[in-house]
A and B are shown apart, each in its own frame.
Chain A
Amino acid sequence: MPYSSPEPGPDPRLSDRRVRVWDLPIRLFHWLIAALFGFCWWSAETEHLDWHMLSGFAVLALVLFRIYWGFAGSATARFASFLKGPRTVFGYARNLFRQSESVAFGHNPMGGWSVIALILLLLAQTVLGLFAIDVDGINAGPLDTLVSFETGRRFAHLHGRVFNLLLILTALHLAAVAFYWLFKRENLIGPMITGRRRLPSWAAWSELYFAPLWKAALGLALAGLLVAWVALGWF
């Protein structure tokens, strides 16, 4: 049960118990995506299209892995554990501006949907890139051969638009992290690095499920093979 509603009790900040919430694959995924997102942006702006494509393939492989991990991974990685219905989401939103520490072990009910939006946009963005072609008809994604030049240009334009959406969502993501830090006095960055967060003393706690790492390695290898298959034209 990764999420439990806050109940009145002693000041949670007095508690020293630290519990494990994020597994290694999730943390690596998060920081690699953050770095690659920046690199993809930079390489597109500076027209290093070969690097841009390589980093895009890496993002696609990581996103495919993340989708797999959302079904086969640890408790806090699973979509079923953090995607909540509207009642829970609105209930959480109503209490958002109360300065009480939230007890979401993993993504909170609002953040969960933001994660899904980011994953789907990254998936859309990288797939669009596979078909995109530049204005000169020279540099193109590996699947451009399946469409005409004009369609490839449309994909390129959509690739640009989805990027703008990604920028907006990324800004929102950073704003939320800052909001939790400054207003709710809750550090979300630390747990994403160490994998552990402080447990309020009043919170009910049962150990979360952590998937074995070989499962992650298997998923990543499959995702990597699939992307290499597309990228290198092995079809």
Chain B
Amino acid sequence: MRFKVRTIAILVAGAALIVSGGQLSAADPSPAEIIKARQEKLKDLGEQMKTIGGQAKSGTLDRKVMADAAAKASAYAKDLPTWFPKGTGPEAGVKTAAKPEIWAQADDFKAAAEKLPPEVDMLAEVVASGDKGAIFTQLQATGKACQGCHKQFRVKDKEE
């Protein structure tokens, strides 16, 4: 039985390959999909910052909640430079605030993006301490890293 299932699977995969003309890229996400996924992740990154800020502001200081948010943010921060493959700028034809400079000045973008992970890792350390003042200070430092990229490489929202 097991043998049969595997045979069918191989046959189906082979057929799919033939139908797609050997172009596996057909299964790759389109620029529009990459942009959408990127926006979702950036929004969720904002949500994590907001969660930590909210804990500090309310004085609840739930360390588990803050540590989870910081861990999530840290993973996002390290992954972030891979969210901008070529072709996912304004030329993709969907709404994106990503400026063409991300690709035109790729080295500058990389340098700006690399400033984020250390700040977020520091934030993760600070939330573990539960020191409210230190959390606010490190949140602002993290915000500077966000803005460092946003100022240069993100189209400013019209209503800001």
Contact = CB atoms under 8 A, between A and B. Distances in A.
Contact of A156 (B43, B53, B160): B160
B137 to A, nearest CB: 12
A149 interface: yes
B143 A139 contact: yes
Interface in B101-119: none
A136 B159 contact: no
Question: Which of A133, A142, A159 has the most B CB atoms < 10 Å from its CB?
Answer: A133
A144 interface: yes
Contact of B143 (A138, A145, A153): A138
Question: Which of B57, B59, B158, B159 has the most A CB atoms < 10 Å from its CB?
Answer: B159
B49 A160 contact: no
Nearest to A142: B57
Contacts of B139: 138
**A interface majority secondary structure:** helix
Question: Which of B45, B158, B160 has the most A CB atoms < 10 Å from its CB?
Answer: B160
A136 B54 contact: no
B50 interface: yes
B140 A138 contact: yes
Nearest to B139: A138
A137 interface: yes
12 contacts: A133-B46, A135-B46, A135-B150, A136-B150, A137-B49, A140-B53, A149-B43, A150-B47, A153-B46, A157-B159, A160-B159, A163-B159
Interface of B: 43, 45-50, 53-54, 57-59, 139-140, 142-143, 146-147, 150, 154, 157-160
Interface of A: 133-140, 142, 144-145, 148-150, 152-153, 156-161, 163-164, 233
Given A136-B46, A138-B53, A149-B47, 11 more contacts: A135-B146, A137-B53, A138-B140, A140-B53, A145-B58, A148-B47, A157-B157, A157-B159, A159-B159, A161-B159, A233-B59
